[in-house]
Structure 1
Amino acid sequence: MRMTASFVQLLHAFFENWLVQQRNVSAHTVWSYRDTWRLFLRFTSERQKRPIARLSLAQITATEICAFLQHTEVERHVSIGTRNCRLAAIKSFFRFVQAQEPSALAQCAEVLAIPSKRMQRRLICYLESDEVAGILAQPDRSTVEGQRDHALLSFLYNTGARIQEALDLCPQDIRFDAPCQARLVGKGKKERICPLWPETAALLLALLKRHPRAPDQRLFVNRYGTPLSASGVRFKMRQYVQAACQQLPSLSSKRITPHVWRHTTAVHLVASKVDVTVIRSWLGHSSLDTTNQYARANMQTMRDALQRFDAPSGIRPPPRWKRSASLLDWLDSL
């Protein structure tokens, strides 16, 4: 059976029709998939010595995909998590193809059978309260840029928002009157409401007064007035962490990213004995299993539990089944 659509047509239909119109995925998902296919097509083109425009679907084999995944890990030095995200983007396309091209079912099955790579789950990195205070003290709040960074970091710590959730924040999403709160749009376009401390709301309001924004414009912008990027936040955060290391040497052993602030919020909520279901709603987790990992990460909580757990006061008699002369006699006595 001959294929009815070319590879280029299928890729166009996947992005423009399937992802955007049919599934209505977020722009960030589209951008992530786009970046994966950019890298993959360039890699395959160089590997097969063929221009990208002349690649066919038949040449996008499971072997090529596995070679690309190996290349991303070895040559580009990406993490296993990023490698699995690249694979997920490619698999999504082939799930679309198998419904459009019955003649490619065998090829799609081979691609979809490529397993995700298991990775080591490392201990969650989070900040102690004094480390949070030390980093928050670094931005020069006399400047617009410093005031913006201080408000953004305070907002991240208050809400536990993902970095893009915070950067998408507009004035219309914030309630400045008591009870102060912010509306966040997370993964899967799921909305949630996060409470704000009056201090955090005051920081955001002061930033708006100094740098006014329309209700539907992004609150956190760069010096040119365009929305701040996640990479820009990471760059500034590294500077503040390096400066804070002078007073807090413990920071030098930690890799601080915007997501670490989210972990910090969760761990501190657990330490404050907030109910785990409330933390789940606060952070926008889809599963309680994700939230429960923060209880395991908080050493102080485990120390408190150990103190509440009574140590054995003496030697206790063995259980009845161990005292029985014969296991069969014990079973007969039941």
Structure 2
Amino acid sequence: MDWHVAREEFKNYLKLERSLTGNTVEAYVRDLTKLVEFFELQEFSLSPETVESSHIEGFLKYLTELNVSSYTQARILSGVKAFYKFLIQTDYQDTDPTALISSPKLTRKLPDTLEFHEIEELLSVIDMAKPEGTRNRAIIEVLYSSGLRVSELLNLKLNNLYFDLGFIKILGKGRKERFVPIGKDAMKYTQLYITEYRNKMKVKKGHEDFVFLNRRGAQLTRVMIFTIVKNLAKAIGLNKNISPHTFRHSFATHLVEGGADLRAIQEMLGHESITTTEIYTHLDMSYLQQVVHEFHPRGKGNDQ
């Protein structure tokens, strides 16, 4: 049985025999599709019957490297387990490669994932009347809408902003450049910060091209970004241990949960991880932009 046929039969089984709702059925099928995408990325020539437990474990490891939360990993694994339970119950195969695989521990040392409403709450308590308020709003918007590492945010340059195209150019690990889509709200508040605040500052020599500056006109530090995030969390009484990386983690998780293509997510995060860079050569910028627009909660923005 090939994957296309297997997915269709699984879908019919969930609808007709388990009487699940349409949204639940689609969620199960979407989880299975993530596994198939992973096999395609790895160039594994596998059918449902030839998958082994090591392949499933490799898939979970891959999701971890994509910053996908342990909660979402557990949910995806649940969908894959349901698929193999279906294959056994319908006599398509005798063994279950997921049988001995436990769900990822929810205590795994990854940052907490923020719900979209929590991100909106964090943004809502930023005091835009203060000079640094616009800057801080822009920082959080950029971290979440583009999934940047803290170092990438700190080193973002004015000449790497391509707002006319809806992209920013990032210098990532190993000094490798990549283009990442940026949301409408992130562009809006970054431009507002630049025109209303940054352009009126006295900038220290050597710091002229950095986008985000402190009150003394110098490049921000990692500690300052952490302090901004911690203070916002405290202001809304958030009972989660969050850091700037939490927004990158949430960016990836929300895209995966929304159904975005794993290859596009990996490209935007700047990961080499398991697969080689050549795999992504056909993913043009317009496609990456479309992925964020369709699947990221902040990608649609507000046309205001």
TM-score (norm 1): 0.46
Q: Is the 8 A contact 1:280 1:288 kept in 2?
A: no
Gaps of 5+ in 2: 1-106, 276-304
Question: Aligned to 1:231, which of 200, 220, 223?
Answer: 223
C-alpha distance after superposition, 1:2-29 (max 9, x if no partner): xxxxxxxxxxxxxxxxxxxxxxxxxxxx
C-alpha distance after superposition, 1:61-97 (max 9, x if no partner): xxxxxxxxxxxxxxxxxxxxxxxxxxxxxxxxxxxxx
SS of 1:182 mapped into structure 2: strand
Q: Offset of 1:219 from its aligned partner?
A: 1.0
Note the 1:190-201 alignment, pairs <5 A.
190-201=176-187
Q: Is the 8 A contact 1:277 1:288 kept in 2?
A: no
Note the 1:184-263 alignment, pairs <5 A.
184-210=170-196, 211-212=198-199, 217-245=209-237, 251-252=238-239, 254-263=240-249
Note the 1:91-110 alignment, pairs <5 A.
none
Q: Residues of 2 paired with 1:186 and 1:260: CA distance?
A: 18
2:125 aligned with 1:125, yes or no?
Answer: no
C-alpha distance after superposition, 1:91-119 (max 9, x if no partner): xxxxxxxxxxxxxxxxxxxxxxxxxxxxx
Note the 1:53-68 alignment, pairs <5 A.
none
Note the 1:273-312 alignment, pairs <5 A.
273-288=259-274
Relative to 1, partners in 2 of residues 1:124 and 1:236: Cα closer, same or farther, differing over 3 Å? closer
Question: Aligned to 1:270, which of 253, 256, 281?
Answer: 256
Q: Residues of 2 paired with 1:181 and 1:194: CA distance?
A: 5
Q: Decide which structure has the larger Cα Rg and report it.
A: 1
Q: Offset of 1:122 from its aligned partner?
A: 2.8
C-alpha distance after superposition, 1:132-158 (max 9, x if no partner): 111111211122201100100000000
Q: Residues of 2 paired with 1:241 and 1:151: CA distance?
A: 16
- Superposition CA RMSD, Å: 2.0
TM-score (norm 2): 0.51
Structure with higher RCO (Cα < 8 A, 6+ apart): 2
Which residue number in structure 2 is paired with residue 151 of structure 1?
A: 138
Relative to 1, partners in 2 of residues 1:145 and 1:284: Cα closer, same or farther, differing over 3 Å? same
Q: Residues of 1 paired with 2:194 and 2:274: CA distance?
A: 36
Which residue number in structure 1 is paired with residue 161 of structure 2?
A: 174
Counterpart residue identity of residue 140, structure 2: L
Q: Is the 8 A contact 1:185 1:191 kept in 2?
A: yes
Relative to 1, partners in 2 of residues 1:288 and 1:142: Cα closer, same or farther, differing over 3 Å? farther
Question: Aligned to 2:150, which of 152, 163, 170?
Answer: 163
Relative to 1, partners in 2 of residues 1:222 and 1:169: Cα closer, same or farther, differing over 3 Å? same
Which residue number in structure 1 is paired with residue 126 of structure 2?
A: 139
Which residue number in structure 2 is paired with residue 106 of structure 1?
A: none
Which residue number in structure 2 is paired with residue 36 of structure 1?
A: none
Q: Is the 8 A contact 1:180 1:196 kept in 2?
A: yes
SS of 1:231 mapped into structure 2: helix
Q: Residues of 1 paired with 2:161 and 2:194: CA distance?
A: 11
Q: Is the 8 A contact 1:134 1:244 kept in 2?
A: yes
What fraction of aligned residue pairs are identical, expressed as a percent? 31
Paired residues, what number? 163
Relative to 1, partners in 2 of residues 1:219 and 1:124: Cα closer, same or farther, differing over 3 Å? closer
Relative to 1, partners in 2 of residues 1:148 and 1:287: Cα closer, same or farther, differing over 3 Å? same
Q: Is the 8 A contact 2:168 2:182 kept in 1?
A: yes
Which residue number in structure 2 is paired with residue 100 of structure 1?
A: none
SS of 1:194 mapped into structure 2: strand
Higher helix share: 1
